[in-house]
Amino acid sequence: MGSQKLTGWRKSSHSHFEENACVEIGAGQGVVGVRDTKQRAPRSVLVYSAGAFAAFLAHLTGER
């Protein structure tokens, strides 16, 4: 899936703009894309299944 099929891109609330360390996420049907905001177009996008991304977030927030 190309990044053109991912929509609703938004910047992480934990991004640190002073250090130029920002990521954005976008969603598609059953998938979540992650990209670096400081990278110029065309941006590389890592695409994960929605389940894998949910498990990743649960791990980060301590949910089990």
Tally of domains within the chain? 1
Provide the pLDDT for residue 60. 86
Q: What is the mean pLDDT, run by run of 10 residues, along the chain of 64 residues? A: 75 71 89 87 89 93 76
Question: Which domain range does residue 55 map to?
Answer: 3-61
Q: Which two tokens stand for residue 9?
A: 């891109």
Provide the pLDDT for residue 58. 93
State pTM to two decimals. 0.76
Q: How many CB atoms lie within 10 A of CB 43?
A: 14
* Residue type at 17 in one-letter notation: F
Provide the pLDDT for residue 42. 80
Q: State how far the Cα of 20 lies from the Cα of 4, in Å rounded to an integer.
A: 24
